[in-house]
A and B are shown apart, each in its own frame.
Chain A
Amino acid sequence: EIVLTQSPATLSLSPGERATLSCRASQSVSSYLAWYQQKPGQAPRLLIYDASNRATGIPARFSGSGSGTDFTLTISSLEPEDFAVYYCQQRSNWPPGFGQGTRLEIK
């Protein structure tokens, strides 16, 4: 079973700053990695799939990169609504799994 490790656990930034979130897989997942955003009391929302493809309706400030075992979610300039928990998810190997999450909080 592939383990996804997200870092940092918590990231404290201010609106307007750039956020860089990391997800590392215990073995290669090729490009089959997705990112989700979850706000308190809400369901997750798909942001990025297959490492770098933005889902429908996702703003251009969200971008994803990486392949193999190392992936990055970048938010180019943080908006107030971006402060949330972010999860990565792999679909390369069975079973599909999620990372433990990175909490992006307002500094």
Chain B
Amino acid sequence: EVQLVESGGGLVQPGGSLRLSCAASGFTFSSYWMHWVRQAPGKGLVWVSRINSDGSSTSYADSVKGRFTISRDNAKNTLYLQMNSLRAEDTAVYYCARDRQEGTVTTNFGYWGQGTLVTVSS
């Protein structure tokens, strides 16, 4: 069974940093592109970032470019999102999601974690 379990969320002051983790199991982690998608309270879904299967290629939404860094450790089956210079508008539930198809990127989100809440407030 595919499982994605996020952790690392919490309350942080504006300008602060946080690192999210997503522990993957039930599939060959190193064969899939992975994504982060966020959802502000009561709002819709917004794609944040993606990383290829070996970690050599990354992409970001303009709203987080230069502040967030996606990475992965295939030996630990774990995805990360380092978030720096956090703003109030970054407040959201952050979901990690597995790409739909093995070995390529479709930018469809076939499996999702349960999400972790990040609150940016003073």
Contacts and interface: CB of A to CB of B under 8 A. Distances in A.
Interface of A: 34, 36, 38, 42-46, 49, 55-56, 87, 89, 91, 95-101
Interface residues of B, number: 18
A38 B114 CA distance: 11
A49 B110 CA distance: 9
A98 B109 contact: no
B108 to A, nearest CB: 5
B100 interface: yes
Nearest to A97: B47
SS of B interface (majority): loop
A33 to B, nearest CB: 10
Interface of B: 44-47, 61-62, 95, 100, 106-115
A87 B112 CA distance: 15
A100 B40 CA distance: 12
B112 A45 contact: yes
B33 to A, nearest CB: 12
Nearest to A38: B45
A98 B47 CA distance: 8
B58 to A, nearest CB: 13
